[in-house]
Structure 1
Amino acid sequence: MATPKRKKLFQWDFWNFVTIAAFLLVLLFLIYPLFNIFINSFIQEGKFTLETYKDFFSLKYYYSSLTNSLIVCSLATIFAICLGLPMAYIMARFDIPFKKTIHILIILTLLSPPFIGAYSWILMLGNNGFLTRFFHGIGLNTKSIYGLHGMIWVFTIQFYPHIYLYVSGALKTIDSSLEEAAESLGSTRWEKLKTVTIPLIFPTLSTGALMVFMASFADFGTPMLMGQGIKVLPILAYEQFISEMGSNPAMASTLSMILLAVSTSILFLQRYLVSRKTFTMSSMRPPAIIKLKPFQKFLAMTYVFIVVGVSIIPQATVITTSFLKTNGPVFTSQFSLDSYREVLYRVPKAIVNTFTYASVAIAFMLIAGLLLSYVVVRRSSKLSSLLDALIMIPYVIPGTVLGISLIIAFNKPPLELTGTWIILVIAYFIRKLPYTMRSSTAILYQIDKSVEEASISLGVPPMKTFFKTTAVLMIPGVLSGAILSWVTTINELSSTIVLYAGSTATITVAIYSEVFTANFGTAAALASILSLSTIISLIIVTIISGKKGVSI
């Protein structure tokens, strides 16, 4: 009598291999570095100690950086809501012209690096800015852009598109019958907005606010350029780690852990608030576009054009000044290509490095986005949910923290990566993978399982079906996410400034260095190259998403 075959507890197949490989990579390049930085925060001169934490909470030099960070980020988030919420309502509900152009300009504002915006406003409103000189010339003693107020201004203008994008999407899907019911009960338009519309969109509004807070909290370049002695947490962590007076890795690790603790706490607070104020509704009757009277349309368009106009001033300033001749740190009124010639002569490697490293990182992101999204969506389990959660951790990790953690983890054998281009690619891959993952999973949810089942029923093996059918259908969504990740990668400064060596400097590092050495012409030329790359990438994404129905 034949004995029945014992059922295997674990079936080895390609997707299990992908899952295990993903866990190993996440553990090696994310969890292990973070664990190292956590342990390092308690070690000083080879001994376990709580001194660094005690110093942080007792010495004003340290704890004031947290206070400054919270003030800047909280006010920037509030002002971004004040700008982005009306913008989203006008764009989603009213019949105003040039909507597509305005939408692209708003996204361009978001994708441009904040420190370029900071640099542009310094050129205009700095101690020797051309608007500052103009105002002084007519007798107005305006305050310089430097300081906390300047950071708040730059972050507000830079990040209000987060609010706009999230809220406009939510406003388009609200069930209009709920608002109509409020109107039938005698509610005015303001009462309806306050009691029905805003509560309904609160989850997405809070998500946009979270993105503004996180982006402001993690940013390195803007506070470094505009602080003039005022410290925020990312700057202090960087200075403690890389200091001319001798580094203090224990304090740098402590500051990094506090950065991580604050950003994680804000994330959990947002989740808690959303869980208490979540509403379920049908999206069968989206709101109709309202036709405005001429004067109302004029007011709406005036608001939109002022906000968008101010938003694109930094890009326009950078591009214009890049073609001006310089006399030392001062721009003259003569047009010239000298800045571009100097860039190509002095820092060509930084340009090559930027696009090379970003392209290598994106190639890995494309592969990971295709494979891991399939594991998360089609082979859903507790293990795949855990993997998805781990991959999303970099959403709340400031770039400075990630950079410091990677150096602490990989600055000695057996895996010595510090100072190499590989560690930069790893940082970009880990930090930007969540964006590609979200776009990949979103497109996969839209692909009906029956497409794969039909292919398999015709005798095509499951693996071949994935690569020849599912992956092909997923490409537009994955590619859109990857291109947007590529844009944020070429504009990345926070992690790059910690990880780069002389031979691995990128455009953002070169701009940062040029600004601090008062070479404003070459800084403008380099910033223009980044802005042009961002515009081209955005056009490509718009074409892809427009043809395939993928949302940007």
Structure 2
Amino acid sequence: MRAGRSSTVQTAIKPTLARRLSLRHWDFWTWVTLIVYVFLFAFIVYPLFTLLFNSFFNDKGAFSLENYGNFIKLKYFRSALLNSLQVSALATVFAILIGVPLAYVTARYDIPCKGLIQILVIMSLLSPPFIGAYSWILMLGNNGFITRFLHDVGIPFGSVYGWKGIVFVFTLQFYPHIYLYVSGALRTIDTSLEEAAESLGRSSFRRMTTITLPLIFPTLSAGALMVFMASFADFGTPMLLGQGFKVLPILAYEQFISEMGGNPAMASTLSVILILCSTSILFAQRYFVSRKNYTMSGMRTPKLKKLKPLQKALFTAGALTIALVSMIPQATVLVTSFIKTKGPVFHPGFSLNSYREILYRVPKAIINTYTYSLISIVIMIVVGMLIAYVLVRRKSKLTAMLDGLLMIPYVMPGTVLGISLIIAFNKPPIVLTGTWIILVIAYVVRKLPYTIRSSTAILHQLDRSVEEASISLGVPPMKTFFKTTGRLMAPGVLSGAILSWVTTINELSSTLVLYFGATATISVTIYSEVFTSNYGTGAALASILTVSTLISLIIANKLSKKGLQL
């Protein structure tokens, strides 16, 4: 009897397993999950594995730890890592010193012009770092107009080149991360602890350092992590301002693309070390945050404090000064683009010659930029919404792992991504190097997380009942998503998509590795123009990116206020 019962149970189990494995019983979202996994494994996991594998072979093709040994032994490589850590750490410290006080003033005091300050700060953040570096070269370079003025009045000044200039540009470029994170936290913090400290006689400064800052530490550390990672991964600024000061992304690029034939194995090794460092910093931040409990009731949000006229004037002037200094690079680029030039030399007066020259000489770069970015953003919106739905509505171990894979681009510098894609797709059966497709893939992989995060945020706020009602009326899940859920998600998704769009049109590091002549973009052309001292045409191209960024920001602001009418 037992044997018979056991065989009956086994027979019952087999059809169930067969039914689950049968493709006919897979629904739309199962197929979406499978396709996303295939995409991520093809363009993130496989290239990274190929990169890692390649790092264990020497220049003769033999398996060896020689590359890692050379990195440890040779000061040339070690110093590049130390330089990267140095400028990133200093930029993070200075960004905190600027961002936290600015956030505190705008979040806690009733100063005027807050809207203007926030717009200026966000604009300075969305402008690419290499444009900031280029602008400061025009002002504080060896022949910059501020440098010449200082020399004329007898004030000794070197130039913006070197590690100090890199830290300076990084600080002004990335402190908005700290400002935006901290100002949001300060507006929602529970003030009961601060009031308790005040009743015990603590001064304002002591309350801020012992109560307020520890309470917002998770948010502050997240902003600091963003600053550090952005500085650590940036390629354009150190390349333009370094003048012999090497950081790891530059070294990886030079090892990969060299006049002497390059050393892909050493470039792979440096890329692996870049990823390991970025990942270690990410895990360190999460470890320190997880050690303490920072939860608050949030029932008593802070009220704006009124200031005396003199204090209000000083605080407003200080905040506006910081915001306006942040915008100097964009203003410089815009004005410079209209100055008369003859080759690399500027002449008195204004003209449109620089714009005429770029329209005659590099129109293809402008078309490429917007074409590739438009294709990428369409893919990001559709794929981002589908992935967000899977992550939020179809939670499982598989989707949790999917979410982890999507975090990889956060810790992957653009240079590393470009090198990994070339190594992975430079040989049959799939050859993508030298095509526009590989650029679109790189943009989607790097910027997709922005769209996914905004999509998941809006989806968490949507009630399931609307979808369930649609499905119960016989509408298939796929049709329900595109006709109902997708429309409800659209306003929130587009805000993240516009951020992805802005960062895509300004992308330099991965593009510089992956492009060839016919697929050059505006950012790559600016880079080339600066290195050939064609500052007028470089400024005109940079102005196009700045205006595009401003228009995108205005559109995002309109959508966030009014919502999207469908």
TM tier, smaller:
over 0.9
Cα distance between partner residues in 2 of 1:19 and 1:307: 46
Cα distance between partner residues in 2 of 1:150 and 1:33: 34
- Are 1:237 and 2:252 an aligned pair? yes
The residue correspondences of 1:398-477 to structure 2 (distance < 5 A) are 398-477=413-492
1:305 is matched with 320
Shift of 1:232: 0.4
Contact 1:199/1:277 (8 A) holds in 2: no
Per-residue deviation, residues 98-126 of structure 1 (Å, max 9, x unmatched): 22221111111011010000000011000
- Aligned with 2:289 (options 251, 274, 285): 274
SS of match in other structure, 2:202: coil
- Are 1:199 and 2:199 an aligned pair? no
1:33 is matched with 47
- Aligned with 2:559 (options 541, 544, 547): 544
The sequence identity of aligned pairs, in percent, is: 68
TM-score if structure 1 supplies the norm length?
0.97
2:515 is matched with 500
2:5 is matched with none
2:20 is matched with 9
Once the two structures are overlaid, the 10-residue window that deviates more, 211-220 or 98-107, is 98-107
Contact 2:120/2:324 (8 A) holds in 1: no
1:287 is matched with 302
Cα distance between partner residues in 2 of 1:548 and 1:191: 42
Cα distance between partner residues in 2 of 1:188 and 1:17: 60
Cα distance between partner residues in 1 of 2:243 and 2:478: 57
Per-residue deviation, residues 432-464 of structure 1 (Å, max 9, x unmatched): 001111100011111122332343445544333
Cα distance between partner residues in 1 of 2:228 and 2:132: 17
- Aligned with 1:107 (options 122, 127, 131): 122
2:35 is matched with 21
Cα root mean square deviation, aligned: 1.5
2:68 is matched with 53
Once the two structures are overlaid, the 10-residue window that deviates more, 37-46 or 144-153, is 37-46
The residue correspondences of 1:1-400 to structure 2 (distance < 5 A) are 6-7=15-16, 8-10=19-21, 11-44=25-58, 45-400=60-415
Cα distance between partner residues in 2 of 1:325 and 1:462: 60
Shift of 1:329: 1.8
Shift of 1:468: 1.8
SS of match in other structure, 2:304: coil
Cα distance between partner residues in 2 of 1:84 and 1:135: 29
Cα distance between partner residues in 2 of 1:489 and 1:88: 28
Q: Which amino acid aligns with 1:330?
A: V
- Are 1:526 and 2:541 an aligned pair? yes
Cα distance between partner residues in 1 of 2:537 and 2:325: 24
Cα distance between partner residues in 1 of 2:299 and 2:482: 35
Contact 1:357/1:424 (8 A) holds in 2: yes
Q: Which amino acid aligns with 1:36?
A: T
Shift of 1:347: 0.3
Cα distance between partner residues in 2 of 1:85 and 1:448: 36
SS of match in other structure, 1:48: coil
Cα distance between partner residues in 1 of 2:83 and 2:430: 37
Contact 1:203/1:278 (8 A) holds in 2: no
Q: Which amino acid aligns with 1:29?
A: F
Shift of 1:159: 0.2
SS of match in other structure, 2:533: coil
SS of match in other structure, 1:331: strand
Larger radius of gyration: 2
Cα distance between partner residues in 2 of 1:124 and 1:278: 47
SS of match in other structure, 1:326: strand
Shift of 1:379: 0.7
Once the two structures are overlaid, the 10-residue window that deviates more, 269-278 or 415-424, is 269-278
TM-score if structure 2 supplies the norm length?
0.95
Cα distance between partner residues in 2 of 1:405 and 1:89: 42
Contact 1:65/1:233 (8 A) holds in 2: yes
Contact 2:188/2:298 (8 A) holds in 1: yes
Cα distance between partner residues in 2 of 1:450 and 1:89: 41
Cα distance between partner residues in 2 of 1:290 and 1:19: 50
Shift of 1:277: 3.0
Contact 2:51/2:423 (8 A) holds in 1: yes
Contact 1:202/1:277 (8 A) holds in 2: no
Once the two structures are overlaid, the 10-residue window that deviates more, 138-147 or 5-14, is 5-14
Per-residue deviation, residues 307-353 of structure 1 (Å, max 9, x unmatched): 11110000000000000001332222210000000000000000000
Cα distance between partner residues in 2 of 1:548 and 1:256: 42
Q: Paired residues, what number?
A: 548
Per-residue deviation, residues 491-542 of structure 1 (Å, max 9, x unmatched): 0001000000000000000000000001000000000000000000000001
